[in-house]
Amino acid sequence: MKVSYNNLFKLLIDANLTKTEFAEKIGLSSGTLAKLSKGQAISMDKLIDICDYFNCTFDDVVEIIPKEERDENK
């Protein structure tokens, strides 16, 4: 599955937080932080933690890239 966390990264910019600072605040591991940066799926629990921090919903944080777009980019 390919996902985009660009919405999350925009939230971090608006909150004036680096990825590392944010990870420390909510307890994300370096592995999870790497997955976010690479556009890989992370656990539902971590998505909930992120949404709790920003008081938002999943679609405010992550976007699933449709299969057609993934195929076009190969």
**Is the CB of residue 32 less than 8 Å from the CB of residue 23?**
yes
- Position 32 scores a pLDDT of 95
Helix (H, G, I), strand (E, B) or coil at 57: coil
pLDDT at position 61 over 80: yes
Q: How many CB atoms lie within 10 A of CB 16?
A: 7
Query: Does the pLDDT at position 71 exceed 80?
Result: no
Cα 8-69-13 angle, rounded to 5 deg: 15
> Regarding the domain delimited by 3-62, which CATH topology (the fold level of the hierarchy) does it fall under?
434 Repressor (Amino-terminal Domain) (1.10.260)
Checking if the pLDDT of 74 tops 60, the result is no
Domain locations along the chain: 3-62
Torsion of CA 57, 62, 67, 69, to 10 degrees: 120
pLDDT tens digits, one per residue of 34-60:
999 999 999 999 999 999 999 999 999
Question: Whole-prediction pTM value?
Answer: 0.85
Q: Residue written as tokens 């890989």?
A: 40
